[in-house]
Structure 1
Amino acid sequence: MSTTQAPVRKLKKPNRAWIRPLEDGGGARYRQIADLIVGAVKDGVLRAGDRLPPQRDLAQELGVDLTTVTRAYNEVRLAGLLDAHGAGGTYIAASLSEQSGTIDLSMNIPPLLNGENFERLMQSGLAQVKEQISAGSLMTYHVGGGSKSDREAASTWLEPIVGSVNPDKILICPGAQAALSAILLAYTQPGDVIAAENLTYPGFLAACRVLQRGVVPVASDDQGMVPEDLDRVCKEQGPRLVYLVPTIQNPTATTMSAERREAIHAVATRHGVAIIEDDPYWLVAGDAPPPIASIAGRSAGAPVFYISTLSKCLAPGLRTAYVLMPESESMEPVLDALRAITLMAHQSTVSMASIWIRNGMAMDMVQKIRQELGQRQKLAAKILPGILRAHPHGLHLWLALPSRLDQYRLIQTAQDQGLGVASSEAFSAQEDAPNAIRLSLGGASDQARLVTALEKLAEILGTAVAPVERRRVIV
C-alpha cells in the first residue's frame, strides 16, 4: 500500500500574526526579527507554507532599514526555515522541530554523517554484517585483539600511513580511548608520570587522572612539542611514556614537520622512553609527514605505540581503533589490560569497518569528508575574526581570544544562543590555560547551519564581556 504526504499549504496572503514591535536595547534589530520568526515557527504561529510579508513592507511596518529585514530573512534562510521564490514570495520551509537544538562546535565529530554517502556506507555494511549474524560468528566472544580477517583489513587501512605492516602486530580496540587506557595500564604504575604537550587531548588527561598517572607538560611551538624541553623533562622528571598527537594536534591544530618528528624520537631514544603516537587525523590531513612509528622503524630504543582510530575520519559510533604495536614489544600486556577494561571490541562495528575498508568505501568516504572539511575551514576563515590556527582540512581550529574577552563568559553566552564551544582549560596539562577556545566544524549538520553558528559566534566575539565564574567544558 502506498502513502502520500499531505501537500504543504501555500498562503497567498502574508501571515502577519507573528509581528511584534522591536525592543530598544533588545539587541541587534535583524536578530530580533529573526528570533520573532523562529519563535513563531516553534509556537505554531507560523507553519510550513506560510508566506512572510515582503521585505520592504515589513521594514516600513517595523521602522527599520530594508537591509535589516534582508539580513534577518537571510539568517532564517541559512537555518533552513525559509524558501525564497523571488517575486513569488518567501515561505516557511519546515517546522522548527526539524532544525532545533544546539549547534555543537565543541565535539570533534566528522561531517556528513547524515548524508546520502554515509547512508550508502551503512546499507552496504549492514547487508554483509547480516550474513555474518546468520552464520553465527558475530555474537560470540572475540578476545584476542581481533580476528585474522579484521587485522588484515586493519593492515590495509594502515598501509598508506605507515607502509606495509604485519597484521599480527595490530590490536583492534573499541576506540582510541580504550587503547590509551590499556597502554597506560600495561606500561606504567600509579604515580608514574607521562610527558605530553602543555595543551593536549582531554581523553588522555582524563585517563591519567582516573588511573592516577601524572602528566608533565612539555613546551610546544607552531610545530608541536619542543625537543629541547622534552630533553629537560626527561632528565628532571623521568617520564615512563611520551604522549603525542603529531598531526593536526588537538587542540592547537599544529602539525609536526618530518624534522621535528625525528628530533622528538631522537630525544626519546636517548632517554629510553616509549612514545604513544595518537594519530587520528593523518588521513584527513592528506599532507602530513610519515608518522614517528614509520620513520623510527618502531625501534627498541624508543618503541612507538601507534594508534589510528576511525572515530575522527569516519564515525565515532564505529568504536573501532587500531594499535600498531612496536616490533620489540609483546602484545600480551596490552591485551590483558584491554580484557580488564572492555573484554573485547564490538564485533558488529569492527566487521562493518573491515567491510568498508576491503571494498574501498571507507577511503572514498574519508576523501569526501576531507573535501567537506576543506570547504568548512574556508568558511570559518572568512567569517571568524582574530587569530586562527587551523589546518586546511582539519576537523577543528584554535582561536586565540583578546585579553579583554573572558572565555568563560563567552562560552556561557554562546550556550545561551545555542552554540557549544570548548574552553582551553579542558585541554590544559597545567594550571594556567591560555585565553582561547577550540571550535569543531563537523558537528553542524550542513554548511548552512555552520555559517549560522559561526556568524553568531563572530557577533559574540565582537563585544568584549566581563569575567564571570569559570565553567569547565569537557570534550
Structure 2
Amino acid sequence: MREEPAAISWTPDLSGSSGPIYLALAAAIQSDIQIGALNPGDRLPTHRALAATLGLDLTTVTRAYGEARRRGLIDAAVGRGTFVRDVGRGRRDAEVAPVEVDLSMNLPPLPAASDIPTLLSRTLATVLRRGDAAQMLNYHPSGGGADDRAAAVQWLTPLLGDLPPSRALVAAGGQAILTALLTTLAPAGSVILTEAFTYPGLRAVAAQLGLTLEGLPLDGQGLIPEALDAACARFSPTALYTIPTIQNPTTATMSPERRDAVATVARRHGLTVIEDDAYGMSPTVPPPPIATLIPELTWYIGTVSKSLLPALRVAYLVAPDERRATRMRAALRAVSQMAPPLSAAVVARWIRDGTAHRILDEIRREAAARQSLAAAVLPAGTFAAHPQGHHLWLSLPQGWSATAFATQARRFGLALVPDSAFAVAPATAPNPAVRLSLGAARDIDHLAPALERIASLMDEDADVPPEIV
C-alpha cells in the first residue's frame, strides 16, 4: 500500500498583498513554486488547516486552491490531498485509482462536531436497560407500535401539522414503503407518472412489478402542472410519484404556488399522489408538503435515513385515512415484516428528547458548508443545488457525455452517477449531467480535493479513449 508524504509545513507571506485574498494566496503558491519553496509532489496543507494557520475563512482558501489549480500549479489526488503539480506529466499518466471518495450515494453528511457513533452507543445502552428490553429483541407489530407511531407524528408535525397516530406507519426504510405502496395501489401494467429524472429506486420497483413509468418535464421549480394535466388526460395514470423538495437528482424545489397548482390538477383528476419527501426536513424552513393540500389523495413518505442517519433504516408513511393505513400495514408486513425494533426505539427516543432535532440542525450546517465549498470550487453556473441539500446536479461542458465523465472520474478514484441512472425514457437533459452527493465524503478535507478534480476534468477536453467510455 502506498505511503503518502505528510503535508508540508507551509505558511505563505500575504503581507502587502492588495486585492482579493484568494488571488493573493494563489499568487503566493505560484511565487513559492518559482523560487523553489514549493516543489513538485509537495503535499499542501488541507483547506481547513491552512485556513486556521492564516486566520482565513475556509471558503477563501478553497477559492485560492481552485485558482491555483486553474493556473496548472496544483492538482488534487482524491483521498490523498492537494499536491504541487509536476507539469512534465500529462493526465494520461494518471493511474487508475480505487474509489477513494464515493459521491454516488446520497446521504446526509456526518456533522464535523458530532460524535454520532458514541451517541448511538449510549442510546442503545439506555434502550436495552429498559424494563421491557427483552421485548425489544422480539418481533414487533408491522407498521410500528404505539410509541413508534407517536414519535413519527411528533417528528412530522413541523411539516404536516397535527396528525392522528392511527394514520402513521413505521417501516424499514423508504424503499420498503414504496414497494408496499406500488404493490397495493398499482396492478401490473399500470401507468405511474413521475419527473423525467427520478429516484432510481422507483425505476427498480416499477420494473419488478411490471409498471410503466411516464416521465414529465421539469423546470427550476420541478414538475410542470400543465404537463401533469395533459398526461392525466392521455394515460389515465394510477398514481403520481413526486419528490417536491430538493428533487432527486435535479435539486428542484416546488414553490408553494407550484405545489398548489399540482394539487389542483391531482384533485381534478382524482389522482393518487405518492409524495416522497425524503429531503423535506433539510431546509431550515421547510415548504408545506402536497399532503397538506390534498390529504385525501396523498400517501406521504418521510425518511429518517435521509434526514439523520442511513444506518437507522427507519421511515414513516402517512396514509390518507385510518382505513387505508390498516390496509397498508398488511402490505408492509409482506414486504419487510417490521421496522428494525432497536433502530425504531433509538429514533423514537431521539425525537422525544430533542436529540433528533439537534442532529438535524448540525447536519444542516454541515450540508451548507459543503455546498459553499462546491460553489467555491466548481465553475459558476454549471450546477443546480439547494443551500442545505445533500447533493447537486452538475451540467457538463460540451463534448462530454455523462457516462464518459463518470468513467473518467472513476480513473481518479471518484464515483459519480450519470444522468442515465435517473432518466425515465425518453428523457434527455438540456446538457449531459451527473449527480454529486456531497454528504458521502467523510469530511470537508476529503471533499475538497474531490471537487477540485471534478472541476479540473471540466476544464479538460472530452478525449476519453473509447475503450473506457
CA contact (8 A) 2:79 2:450 kept: no
Amino acid at match of 2:436: L
CA contact (8 A) 2:33 2:39 kept: no
2:190 maps to what in 1? 192
Question: Which shows bigger deviation, 273-282 or 70-79?
Answer: 70-79
Distance 2:8 2:223 in 1: 57
Distance 1:468 1:234 in 2: 44
1:270 maps to what in 2? 268
Distance 1:396 1:330 in 2: 34
Question: How far does the alpha carbon of each residue in 1:309-360 deviate from its partner, in whole angstroms, 9 at most, with x for none?
Answer: 0111111110000001102752233222211111111111111111111110
Match 1:377 to one of 360, 371, 382: 371
2:353 maps to what in 1? 359
Inter-CA distance 141–98: structure 2 relative to 1 (3 Å threshold): farther
Matched, 1:43 2:2: yes
Matched, 1:415 2:410: yes
Match 2:203 to one of 198, 202, 205: 205
List runs of 5+ in structure 2 lacking aligned partners: 13-31, 55-77, 82-97
SS at match of 1:275: strand
Amino acid at match of 1:387: T
Matched, 1:462 2:431: no
Question: Which shows bigger deviation, 190-199 or 319-328?
Answer: 319-328
List runs of 5+ in structure 1 lacking aligned partners: 1-41, 56-62, 86-95
1:12 maps to what in 2? none
CA contact (8 A) 1:257 1:289 kept: yes
1:324 maps to what in 2? 318
Amino acid at match of 1:419: L
Inter-CA distance 97–269: structure 2 relative to 1 (3 Å threshold): closer
Offset of 1:288 from its aligned partner? 3.2
Distance 2:34 2:116 in 1: 44
Inter-CA distance 459–358: structure 2 relative to 1 (3 Å threshold): same
Matched, 1:433 2:428: yes
Distance 1:318 1:427 in 2: 25
Distance 1:370 1:355 in 2: 21
Residues 289-368 of structure 1 mapped to structure 2, 5 A cutoff: 289-296=287-294, 298-299=295-296, 303-327=297-321, 329-368=323-362
Amino acid at match of 1:65: Q
Inter-CA distance 111–71: structure 2 relative to 1 (3 Å threshold): farther
Matched, 1:238 2:236: yes
1:88 maps to what in 2? none
Matched, 1:393 2:354: no
Amino acid at match of 2:389: G
Inter-CA distance 234–117: structure 2 relative to 1 (3 Å threshold): same
2:450 maps to what in 1? 453
- Tell which structure's C-alpha radius of gyration is larger: 1
Amino acid at match of 1:416: R
Amino acid at match of 2:311: G
CA contact (8 A) 2:189 2:211 kept: yes
Inter-CA distance 102–326: structure 2 relative to 1 (3 Å threshold): same
Question: How far does the alpha carbon of each residue in 1:267-322 deviate from its partner, in whole angstroms, 9 at most, with x for none?
Answer: 111111100000011211123321011133x12xxx10000001111111100000
CA contact (8 A) 1:117 1:365 kept: no
SS at match of 2:305: coil
Matched, 1:69 2:63: no
1:20 maps to what in 2? none
Question: Which shows bigger deviation, 309-318 or 122-131?
Answer: 122-131
Distance 2:227 2:202 in 1: 20
Inter-CA distance 287–341: structure 2 relative to 1 (3 Å threshold): same
SS at match of 2:125: helix
Offset of 1:392 from its aligned partner? 0.7
Question: Which shows bigger deviation, 232-241 or 384-393?
Answer: 384-393
Distance 2:39 2:369 in 1: 25
Identity of aligned pairs, percent?
Answer: 36
Inter-CA distance 230–127: structure 2 relative to 1 (3 Å threshold): same
Inter-CA distance 237–45: structure 2 relative to 1 (3 Å threshold): closer
CA contact (8 A) 2:159 2:286 kept: no
Offset of 1:456 from its aligned partner? 1.0
Amino acid at match of 2:433: A
Distance 1:53 1:330 in 2: 64
Amino acid at match of 2:137: M
Distance 2:293 2:316 in 1: 19
Distance 1:133 1:76 in 2: 52
What's the TM-score once normalised by structure 1's chain length?
Answer: 0.79
Count of aligned pairs: 407
CA contact (8 A) 1:162 1:294 kept: yes
SS at match of 1:146: coil
How much is the aligned-residue C-alpha RMSD, in angstroms? 3.1
CA contact (8 A) 1:243 1:278 kept: yes
Offset of 1:219 from its aligned partner? 1.3
Offset of 1:84 from its aligned partner? 9.1
Matched, 1:288 2:286: yes
Question: Which shows bigger deviation, 70-79 or 151-160?
Answer: 70-79
Distance 1:414 1:304 in 2: 40
CA contact (8 A) 1:408 1:470 kept: no
Match 1:159 to one of 149, 157, 160: 157
1:89 maps to what in 2? none
SS at match of 1:317: helix
Inter-CA distance 66–159: structure 2 relative to 1 (3 Å threshold): farther
1:4 maps to what in 2? none
1:13 maps to what in 2? none
Distance 1:368 1:45 in 2: 32
Distance 2:272 2:37 in 1: 59
SS at match of 2:455: helix
Question: How far does the alpha carbon of each residue in 1:185-234 deviate from its partner, in whole angstroms, 9 at most, with x for none?
Answer: 11111110100010111111111111111101111111111111111110
Distance 2:298 2:4 in 1: 61
Distance 2:195 2:357 in 1: 30
Inter-CA distance 135–216: structure 2 relative to 1 (3 Å threshold): same
Distance 2:341 2:203 in 1: 28
